[in-house]
Amino acid sequence: MSKLLDLYNPDQFESIGKELITFLSDYLRKATADKIPVNNYKDPELALSSWKEFMKKDASLIDYFKKVIEDSIHLHNPNYMGHQVSAPAPLAAFGGLISDLLNNGMAVYEMGGASNPLEKMATDLICQAAGYDENSAGFMTSGGTLANLTALITARSVKTNVWDEGNSNQKLGIMVSEQAHYSVDRAARIMGLGSEGIIKLPVGDDYSVLAQKLTEKLEEAEANGIHVFAIVSSSCSTSTGSYDEIEAFKEFAQMNNIWLHVDGAHGGSAIFSKKYKHLLKGVEKADSFIVDCHKMMMTPTLCTAVLYKNRAHTLATFRQKAEYLFDESEQYDWHNSGKRTFECTKLMMSIKMMAIVRHSGAEVFEELVDTLYDNAAKFAQIIDDDPMFELALQPQANIICFRLITDSPDEVNSRIRQKILEEGKFYIVQTILNGHVYLRTSIMNPLTTEHHFHNLLKEIKRISYIQIQQTM
């Protein structure tokens, strides 16, 4: 059999697949039980050299997959408390296998006979949880950065005449928290707004926007000749997990004919929780809203919902302003997703999320949010009770910023974080708040408990003690 035909041999696929599933199942048992390090960190050049050497060897495909896993971060280990990426539900990964094998691009209906209906069901589910009515709609796209860009281009199409006339004759701008995710800043620059068109809004002690400053900042922008067409509310901010007051933003937006966009990439999933939904009070009034399903909905990356209060706006992004206002006689062709997204050949991403819904019901998302947010509150209390540490703020979400109290806190905490990365027992990150370094954890794994929080603080103290001894 030729090498080409060998690649398409179903028997070989079955044989390797069985071996790989057995290995992956064992890997999951070890990772979830903290029997393997979170991270096998290497210097980038060393990692590259290691892979070059491996590819020269006479190794099997299973050996190749084993090395991929060995050299990766293990999000299913409960000591993973780093970036805002889900420890995905293992069963959802089967959706990825099917998506990759079928390779149906889904830009047009005949290429997405299963995935387009599932995408509509998935986005309708999130719209309903957000409190939108039957006139709402949405679609999936590849990540929060692309989702924010899509929503803001929609806002520009609806609120200005740029699509027809260009923006050479006017300066446009958006208003956004100084703590907002970098993707909003990036989207504004891609849209040609420049630094001047990004009106940064000041935050208070809890790192949420000071709503009383909105009118003042708008007047400053207008005095500089900038036409503000959109305002972005963070739900929640990336660094601190702080939620802006959506209702105050909406009142301001309505008063000034401005589009309200809610960036709920991380914290938007709280709409599924009766306990924490109040953090997004007023989201049903937002013109657009995004949610990363690969953050707190246990879905493998990438899978982001872009939702609109008015379903007509789903077509506004890439059409001339008059064309998207279809009348009742025109069919709303939700099944041709290529009209609404940047992607044409788009992954069948909703298969993964809906696999979770099919197996466990949508109520499992509430259980996850409650678990992660409750655990973050417990960790914050543990930190608060330890005189060697201080919190940057009380967490609203599952993000905790804290630091070891020392004479040189910025330098010491930064070195501690680097040592944790290199040793691989835990995985955390750091952030800069008011010019100072803080350790930052995101509780993304529902298997993480108070036991792991106590062990992390012990590890930080141990590393600190060693560093002190080395400088003596």
183-194 confidence digits (pLDDT tens): 888 888 998 899
pLDDT score at 258: 98
pLDDT above 60: residue 42 = yes
Instruction: State residue 341's pLDDT score.
Output: 80
Question: 107-147: per-residue pLDDT in tens?
Answer: 777 887 898 999 999 999 999 999 999 999 999 999 999 99
**pLDDT for 329:** 34
Decide: 151 and 261 in contact? Cβ < 8 Å. Answer: yes
What's the pLDDT score for residue 471?
Answer: 65
pLDDT grade for 435, boundaries at 50, 70 and 90: very high
For residue 437, list its beta bridge partners: 432
* pLDDT given at position 343: 84
Q: Tell me, what's the pLDDT at 170?
A: 81
Q: What is the mean pLDDT of residues 395-407?
A: 97
pTM (two decimals): 0.93
* 233-255 pLDDT, tens digit each: 999 999 999 999 999 999 999 99
What value does the mean pLDDT take over residues 145-154?
Answer: 95
Contact indicator for 301, 85 with CB cutoff of 8 Å: yes
In 3D space, the residue among 133, 143, 142, 173 whose CA is nearest the CA of residue 155 turns out to be 173
Q: Which whole number is the average pLDDT over 415-428?
A: 96
Tokens of 296: 């707190």
The predicted structure's pLDDT at residue 325? 39
In this model, does residue 276 exceed pLDDT 90? yes
User: How do the domains of the chain map onto residue ranges?
Assistant: 98-360
pLDDT level of residue 12 (50, 70, 90 thresholds): very high
Between CA 92 and CA 84 the distance in angstroms is: 18
Name the residue with higher pLDDT: 113 or 38.
38
The yes or no reply on domain 98-360 and CATH 3.40.640.10 is yes
pLDDT at 332: 62
